[in-house]
Amino acid sequence: MKYCKDFIVVENETITPTLFILKLQYLETLPEIKAGQFVEIMVKGEANVFLRRPISIHDVDKDRNQISLLIQIVGKGTEELSKLKKGESLNLIFPLGNGFTIIGKKVLLVGGGCGAAPLLYLARVLKQNQIKSDILIGCRDIKQLFSKKEYESLSNLHIATEDGSCGIKGLVTSHPILDEDFDSIYCCGPTPMMKAISKLAKERNIPCYVSLEHKMACGFGVCLCCVVDTNQGNKRTCTTGPIFLSSELKDF
C-alpha cells in the first residue's frame, strides 16, 4: 500500500553545508516500512522544480510515528528542502520500492558517503530480529560522518576515512573486516564501491544486496527512466528495486 500524506518537520539537522537530516512527524500511525524503501517528496517554493525528489528512508521510529531522511544538496529541489523549518509540512508518497531481504544470522552492512542512508534503519531491524551485524562506513573525512552514535547503539561500527581522520585511512574496500565470514552483505553507496564489494562477495559465494541510486521521477514504474539491465531483462528500479541481488545485475 502506498500513501500520499503530509508530514511535519520535527528537526532539520545540518551535517555539512551540503548534507542534512530531516526528522518528520507522521500525523497518523505509520504503516509498515521496510528497510531499503524510499519516499518521493513534493518540493514547494521552487517554481522550476516540477518533479518529486526520491529520497531513501534513513530511519524509522515506530513509537513516535517519525521517519528520518538523509539528504544531500545536489540541485534546486534539495536546496529548497534544506531550508525547511520546524513545524512546516512536507508532502510524501511512501513507502516506495522493495526492501532488503534478510539472510543469515551474521551479516555485514557496507556504506559509502550519503549513499549509506538506508543502512541505519536496516541495522535497527536486524537488532530487533536478534541478528548480529557489523557496519562498515566510508567517507572522505570525519566531518562527513553522520548518525555515528545511532550506528554504535545498533551494531559493531567500523569506519574508513580517506584522510584517516576517523577509523582506518583508506577506502572501505581495504578494511580488514571484509576478511571475516558473513552470511550476507548489504551495500549502499557509490556504484564503483558497490561493484567492488559485490565482486568480493561473489568470489566468496556470499549473497550481496545493493541499493541502486537511479533517477526515479515517478516512483511507480510509469516513466521508465530508472530501468536497469538484469539477467532477466530490463527492470524498473523504483518498483522491482531499488534493492537488487548483485548477481542479478548485468553490470555487477
Task: Please report the domains of the chain, with CATH numbers, ordered by start residue.
Answer: 3-96 (2.40.30.10), 106-211 (3.40.50.80)
Sign of CA dihedral 79, 22, 228, 52: negative
How much is the pLDDT for 113? 86
Instruction: Say how far apart CA 135 and CA 236 lie, in whole Å.
Output: 28
Of 65, 19, 22, 17, nearest to 43 by C-alpha is 22
Cβ–Cβ < 8 Å for 111, 119: yes
Which pLDDT value is given to residue 26?
97
Rounded Cα distance, 135 and 155, in Å: 7
Cell of 144: 562527513
Question: Does residue 220 contact residue 185 with C-beta atoms inside 8 Å?
Answer: no
pLDDT of residue 220: 76
pTM above 0.85, yes or no: yes
d(CA 145, CA 112): 10
What pLDDT, on the 0 to 100 scale, is given for residue 67? 98
- Residue 47: predicted pLDDT: 66
Contacts of 167 (CB under 8 A, 6+ apart): 158, 159, 160, 161
Mean pLDDT per 10-residue interval, the chain, length 252 residues: 96 94 97 96 80 94 97 92 96 96 96 93 97 95 91 95 91 94 96 95 96 81 84 88 94 86
Sign (positive or negative) of CA dihedral 34, 35, 37, 38 = positive
Q: Please report the DSSP string for the chain in residue order.
A: --EEEEEEEEEEEEEETTEEEEEEEESS------TT-EEEEPPPS-TT--S-EEEEEEEEETTTTEEEEEEE--SHHHHHHTT--TT-EEEEEEEES--PPP-SSEEEEEEEGGGGTTHHHHHHHHHHTT-EEEEEEEESSGGG--SHHHHHHHSEEEEEETTSSSSEES-GGG-GGGGS--SEEEEES-HHHHHHHHHHHHHTT--EEEE-----SSSSSSS-TTEEEETTEEEETTTT-SEEEGGGBTT-
User: What is the grid cell recorded at 245?
Assistant: 541481488
Contact 166, 141 (CB under 8 A): yes
